[in-house]
Each structure stands twice: as C-alpha cells, then as structure tokens.
Structure 1
Amino acid sequence: MADTKKRCFVVMGFGTKTDYINGRKLDLNKSYRLLIKPVVEAKGVECVRADEITHSGSIDVQMYRELLQADLVIADLSTLNANALYELGIRHALRPFTTIVISENKLMYPFDLNHIVIHSYQHLGDAIDYEEVERFRAALGNVIQTVLDKKEPDSPVYTYLNSLIPPKLQAEIEKAVESQEKKPTSPEIGKALSLIIQEAEDAIETKEFLKAKGLFQSALLLSGQKDTYLIHRLAFVTYKAAHPDLVTSLYESLALLESINLAHTNDPETVSSAGAVKKKLYECGEGANHLEDSILYYQRSYYLLNNRYNGINLALTLVYHATSPLVQNEQERIADLVFARRTWTRVLYLCDRDWKLIIEKEKNDQDLINDGTKDGQELQEYYNAQKYWILVNRAEASFGLGDFATYQLSVEESQKVKFHLWQLESFTEQIGKLKAEMKKIGHLIEPKWEFPE
C-alpha cells in the first residue's frame, strides 16, 4: 500500500452466481466489468477484485489486508453472496468510512441491512441494458466522489458505537503476508485467479477441455473454498474432456456436483448440470436409474427457472422414459408423451416471450453495439446466441409436437443468425435423438406423430 494512488477493493462474487431466494442467475463479472471497474478507474483510483490479486500464499491474508487498508471498498451484495456479506461486516468493523454498498434491484435484503444505504442497479441475468450501464455509472461516480471527499462515517458499527477507535494493524498484517509468502505454493499460485479462469474459458473456446480442466482445478485450489461457479465449470469441462473415457468422466463430473449438496440444493445451475450428466449416463447405457434421476433434476431446475433450456431437456427425458424398460404399458407411455407435449407447448410460449424481450433489448443497445468497442462486439455476440437458441428451441418443440412446418421455418430462420458450429452440432444431435425415440411411440397419440420422410 506504499503507492500514493488510491486503491479500491471490490467485494463481490465472481462468475455466474444464483440468488437462492428467487432462483435468478446473475453474471457478476458483467456487473464488475461494466458497472464498477470503469467508474472507479475514471476517478483515478486503482480498482481490484479478489480474483485479480496475484497470490503467493493464503488468499485470506490478502483479503483482510485489502479490507483494512483499501482507501475505498465497494461491496456488491447481489445474490446475497455469503462471502460478500461477511467481508462487508469485516470492513464495517475495521473502517468507519469510505465503504459503498450496491446490489441488483431484485435482491431481497435481510432485515439487518435495512438501515444501510444500498445503491441498486438493474441486472437482466446474463446481460445489463446499455441505458442502465450509463445511468448507474453516473450515479456510482457521484457516490464515489462524495465518499472520498467527505469522509463521513458509513459504517453502522462506528455510527452507533461512536467511541470506537479504528484498529491499526499494519505491522501485523505485513508480517502475516510475509509468513504466507515463504510457504511452498502450487505452480499456478502466483497468478491472479481471474487470469487462470480466463485461460480456462479460452481453452473451452478452442475445445481444449483437458487443459481447461487443469486450469479450473488450479483456480478451485487457489480460491480456497467450494465455489459453486468454479465447480460448475470444472464439472462441465470434466465430462467434455471425456478422459480417460466418457463414462469415467461423467461419474467424476457427478461427484463434483454432489460435493456442493446436490441432493438438497435449490441452485438451478447445479441440478440442471446434474440432469445433463445423468442423461448422458443413461445414453451411454449405464442404467435406467440415471434417467429417473435426470428427469427429477430437470424438473427441479425447470420449475425453479421456468426457462427454455430445462424445458426442452425435460421433454426429451420424458420421451426417453416412454421408450425405456421402466414403462410396462401403453397408458404410462401415453402419460409420458402428454407431459412432454405440455412441456413443449410451454417452451413455445417461452420462446415467443423471450424473442420479444431480446429484440427490444437489442434495439435499445444499438449505440453500444455499433461503437466499435470490444464491449459492443461481445454484446452483439450475446444477442446472436440468444436469438439462435430461441429459434432452435422453437424448432425442437415444434418437432416434438409434430408441427413440422413451423419446425422447418424456425430452422431456416436460425440459419440467418450468426452461430458457432458447436451450437448447430448440439441442436442437430438433439433432434436426431428425439426423432429416433418419437418414431417408436409417436403412433400412441392423436393425431399420430409421423415424420415426413
């Protein structure tokens, strides 16, 4: 902390986190990258989040030092992240002023936070509207300037216990850091966590899943905790790597998900990932019990989120169930098909809803999309991906319902949107599986499901 430049430490989760109260998933990296970091740096203040700190020892020591010494702390409590709440409490105990609390506007605050000023922003889950970015940047910039200028107490600890004297532990902290730095470290320690995660994501883009697996394992070790986001990503690349073989990697992926309370969690990302792993185990011939589990997991995540992805996969597992040895008579097969058809019908509704929303958001964000920046390019890629998935989800639901005209039209529309080859391969594989199963049982419903050859 010898530099004269002021330093801001940002307290928040990283990656995609779930608000367990309302089931919403938020990309917190976008909150940090779009709403917080550029505003802080525009004020001439160095901005750092825990995952950006280069570690040579315990992450906890580094974190405590930042919470005490940082000239400014911004705490984003979105998703009621337990670590963020804990670190905010420490900051309030250590420093009487220069702490700003923010969150997305759908957060259900605990009672004990009601007396703290919390500056809110609108988060759309996997994106943030351009107009909201502009609004909140201006608002946060004004708050930062006010906090740095006035030095008025914002900690409830020092507000209500105004005789307290803030601690001065500089020597002790430096000694603890020095002690940690002398300890042996793994090869990846010495890198910032954010850099390791980015390298892992880059490896996914080039389909180097085994490399990504090793990087996420290092990131998890460096984080020092069972971070759900890192475990989700590690579970994903583990089964995608298919090393030493697909079945072994699927069981390894499942064990990772079980380590974060799969049996009882309401985290839709965890149960949805488990549904995918269990479905693949069934497809690999590992037993019908995996199919039953897959249906249960997809049902949980579908009812929690009411979204297209889980609906589409739930319907396919129901069709699998209808053709599996688990079903002994036609009445049960028809029941599975009825449930699948209801789910597909709901997916069509969700496609129409989401299409209107995404087109309106894309229209509102044209200024950013066309400004030639990396942010604009990433935003256009996001909208292209969303439109592609909506169109192929509509195609698959129509295919399952026997509406082949709408299926064909949706496929043709999807070809007009920029997409990645893996997206097309994923959709084509899914349709192939659905077609094979529906040919076995499509005659049981009226009107009969008959694919026009």
Structure 2
Amino acid sequence: MGDTKKRCFVVMGFGTKTDYVSGRKLDLNKSYKFLIKPVVESKGLECVRADEILHSGSIDVQMYKQLLMADLVIADLSTSNCNAIYELGIRHALRPYTTIVIAEDKLIYPFDLNHIVINKYIHLGDAIDIEEAERFKEGLAKQIEAVINKEESDSPVYTYLNSLMPPKIQEALDDAVEKIAETDIPLQVPGAALSKIIQDAEDLIEQKEFEKAKLLFQTAAVLANMNSSQPDTYLTHRLAFATYKTAKPDLVSSLHESMKLLQSINLAHTNDPETVSMAGAIEKKLYESGEGDQHLDEALLYFLRSYYTLNNRYNAINLAITYVYRAKSGLATSDVERSADLVMAKRTWNRVLFLCERDWPVVLEKEKNDEVRVNDGTKDGQELQEYYNAQKFWISVNRAEANFGLGQFDEYHKYLELAKKIPYPLWMWESFTAQMGKLATELAKVGHLMEPSWKAPV
C-alpha cells in the first residue's frame, strides 16, 4: 500500500546552534547535508528531519509517529541538544533496535549516555572538512547496513528490560487516509515543510527582501514553537536580524523590536554568544542612531560577553570601535578615562591581528582540501566557493581596520588592496566602508590621546 521505501528519521537541531559547554557555534545544517542525508539516501532510504516534514497541524504528532514508525533513526546529539536527547530517549523506549547515535567529537557526554555507542565526527564549527566527511560517511554507511535489517537491541531500555514488548499503533487509520486520498473527497492541504520556509526566508535575505523574509521567519517560528513554551533560538536570531534590516516603520523602531525578540530567549542570562553578539550589534546601532549613551554602555557589555566567550574576530572588531565610541561619549568623564578606553581599543585591535594570523592559513587549507567540491560545477560547489571568498574578505578587511586603528597605514592599505581582489557581494564592502567611515570620524576627535598620537592618513 503506497510507497514501501524505508524511511530514516534524523533527530537533531537545525541551523546554527551553540555548544554551551565549549562556546563553539556549529552549523548543524552542514552536518545533515554533507554527512548524514547523502549516506542515508545512498542506501535506498528516504531521509527526513523534523523541519522537513509536511504538516498542517502539530509537529509533535508527526515527530512522535516518526520516532515509533521510522525504519531507522539517526540521533545527532551535538551541542548537547536537549530536544535531541529527549527524542532519543523516546525512540529507545519505543523501539528496541535500528537506532544510531552520532555526535561531534568535542561533545561532553551526559553520564547516562556513557554506555551507548556514539559515533564521533569532527565539526569545524562553520564547515566540515572533506577528508573527515569521507571518513565518517564510510563508517556511517557500514553501520546503516549492519543495523537496518538486524533485529538486535541497541536500546538500553530493551537491553535491561529484556522481556519488554514494543508498542504498536493502529495502522488501519493510515490505510483509510490513503484510500480517501485516492478519491475525490477533499482533504486539508498540508502546509510547507519548515525547512522549505526557512530556506525561502534565507534566500529572500540574500535578495535584500527583508520584509518578506521577516514574514516567513515569523511563520517558521510559529510552526517550530507549536506546543513548546520556549522559542527556537536560531529562528529568533534570524527573525531579529530580518526585523531590524527592514527598518520599518523606521530604523529605531525596528531595532527596539529586534531587541524584544532577543529578550524572549533569555538575553539577560544566556551564555549563547550568538544571541549576545547580536544584542551588541543592535545596541551599537541604537547608539549610532542617536538614542543615547545607555545603548553604548549596553553594547560594550554585550560585545565583551560574546568576545570573551568566542574569542573571534567579529566581536573583537566591534568591541574595539565601541571602546573608541566610549572615549568620545559622555560615559568617559576625563582624559584619563578616555585614554583608558583607547588603550583597550588598541589591545583589542592587536588581538584582531593575532586572530587573523591564526585564521588565515586555516581557511586556505580548508579551501585547498575542498578544491574538488568547489570546482565540481554544482550549486553546492559555488556556495562553498562563496563561503571561502567571504572568509578571506572578512579576514582581510578586519586586518585593514585593525591596522588603521593602530595607525599602521601601510599595512592598512596592503590589506585593503588584498580585500578588493577577492570576489565579494556589494553589501560586504558597504558594511566595511560604513564602519571605517565611523571609525575615522571618531579617531579624528580623540586620537590625540593615544600613545603615540593617532593622526589621519594624508
């Protein structure tokens, strides 16, 4: 009756998530796209993740049904995802076998999972190394072959309670629905899969259609948050980003609306650096829009939190200019305070240069390892090349900006020219030059307090 193709249900988060133990951000979509889905499909199974399920009602109903009925479940516990661990427990309670557990190698396993076989893979945060991908995919393929048709318990529930009988659901209802679908009796048309809505929203952001993207992310958030008291962090981030980018009804109002969205995911106490750094960016824009020194103070605190958590270039470069803003603002009440702010800015720019030196060879090595994928003529290959170009562009302009702040103008021009030679979208250049304009303006006012004195290049 209907399609007899076996189905694999993948239990994992989606989008970019933070591992709260290490502070690392992992793009789980890349794990799914490059490590899991292609292997499952190569074994003749249909592969589906929760956000890909077509539904018009509660996603929980479909999820529980998949956890019971799926011929195979692969659970990725990376980032210690509470939902994934919970759903794995449900699967272990419902089915005695055909469950595979995986996780990125830096995951610290909860004690109760120590006795479960967990296959590890190396995740670089925002990418997957091609050699690691091939190694892991080969191992996963062998494991799928070993468990898919083998009735041997991999559930600790059925291992220790060996007389337990797994539950069954009444399949007659599904058969009846299939029969009705073959008639002219109208049925409710299923809504779009969550993954499709999210991808459409991301595409609209690329096209600068921020209002439309905002509407789609609002829809996605409603679907993802059904029967849940906690908003999805990733979708809230993207909705907040699309919201302030609309600048509707005006920029300041959109920024305040974005901040309220971030506050809904425990901004005051969260240790998620992505949430905190976005809050810093919003508060910085509010200050730049003339909304008062209190927003500058908040921006500085948010960038400090995220910088010390992630130790990355984005937060460092924004932290440095925020210190310069402070030196010029009413928050600094004496030349001693202003000088202290500028000392902190210089220290941060030096740290930016260190991080650029660290990151540049890593990006080049990853790009070299991915050369075959980059040049395969596919859309994925093109996207991968764009990713590496973006990484090289941002490292180059971060170097340029840091050297500019430090008064090292020969180095500034060197990296500025290097950045110009890298293919980049126009918005990246506009974003960089806008920040450089603000930095030059502020340093012209307070640069004389630096040691040595900062003077604008001729």
1:443 aligns with 2:448: yes
Deviation of residue 380 (structure 1)? 1.2
The answer for the alignment partner of 1:273 in structure 2 is 278
Q: Is the 8 A contact 1:65 1:173 kept in 2?
A: no
After the TM superposition, which residues 192-341 of structure 1 pair with which residues of structure 2 at under 5 Å, given as runs? 192-224=193-225, 225=228, 226-341=231-346
Counterpart CA distance in 2 for 1:235 and 1:213 is 8
Q: 1:170 to 1:3 in 2, by over 3 A?
A: farther
Give the drift of 1:174: 5.5
| Counterpart in the other structure of 1:350 | 355
Matches within 5 A, 1:86-97: 86-97=86-97
Aligned to 2:423: 418
1:383 matched to 2:388? The reply is yes
Q: Compared with structure 1, are the counterparts of its residues 140 and 289 closer, same or farther at alpha carbon in structure 2 (3 Å cutoff)?
A: same
After TM superposition, list the pairs within 5 Å mapping 1:16-35 onto structure 2.
16-35=16-35
Report the CA distance between 1:452 and its aligned residue. Answer: 1.6
Asked if the contact 1:318/1:339 (under 8 Å) is kept, the reply is yes
Q: How many residues align?
A: 448
1:289-320 CA distances to partner (integer Å, 9 max, x unpaired)?
11101000000000000000000000111100
Letter in 2 for 1:294: A
| C-alpha displacement of 1:137 | 1.0
* Post-superposition offset of 1:366: 1.2
Cα distance in 2 for residues equivalent to 1:56 and 1:173: 18
Please give the secondary structure, in 1, of the residue aligned with 2:199: helix
**1:170 partner SS:** coil
Q: Which residue of 1 aligns with 2:68?
A: 68
The aligned residue for residue 123 of structure 2 is: 123
Partner of 2:113: 113
**Equivalent residue for 1:434?**
439
Match of 1:181 in 2: none
Q: Write the deviation string for residues 333-372 of structure 1: whole angstroms up to 9, x where unpaired.
A: 0000000100000000000000011111111221222222
Question: What are the superposed Cα offsets for residues 393-424 of structure 1, whole Å, 9 maximum, x if unpaired?
Answer: 00000011111110100000011111110000
Letter aligned with residue 198 of structure 2: I
How many Å separate the matches in 1 of 2:173 and 2:354?
Answer: 57
* Alignment check: 8 A CA contact 1:94 1:166 kept: yes
Please show how residues 6-25 of structure 1 align to structure 2 within 5 Å: 6-25=6-25
What residue in structure 2 maps to residue 361 of structure 1?
366
Structure 2 counterparts to residues 133-148 of structure 1, below 5 A: 133-148=133-148
Compare 441-450 and 343-352 and name the one that shifted more: 441-450
Q: Distance in 2 between matches of 1:430 and 1:169?
A: 59
Distance 1:172 1:299 in 2: 58
CA shift, 1:447, in A, is 1.3
- Residue by residue over 1:245-277, the C-alpha shift from the partner in whole angstroms, topping out at 9 and shown as x without a partner, is 101100000000000000000000000000000
Deviation, 1:373, is 2.4
- Hey, what's the Cα distance between the residues in 2 that align with 1:190 and 1:285? 43
Percent identical pairs in the alignment equals 69
- C-alpha RMSD of matched pairs (Å): 2.0
How far 1:52 moved relative to its partner?
Answer: 0.5
CA distance in 2, matches of 1:286, 1:436: 19
Q: How does 1:38-187 map to 2 (within 5 A)?
A: 38-171=38-171
Output the TM-score relative to the length of structure 1. 0.96
Moved more, 371-380 or 416-425: 371-380
Give the drift of 1:173.
8.2
SS of structure 2 residue aligned to 1:150? coil
Partner of 2:184: none
- Within 2, Cα distance between the matches of 1:2 and 1:170? 17
Q: What runs of 5+ residues in structure 1 fail to find an aligned partner?
A: 179-183
Note the C-alpha offset of 1:110. 0.7
CA distance in 1, matches of 2:405, 2:387: 27
Kept in 2, the 8 Å contact 1:121–1:132? The answer is yes
**Superposed CA offset, 1:118-149 (max 9, x none):** 01111111110111111111110000000113
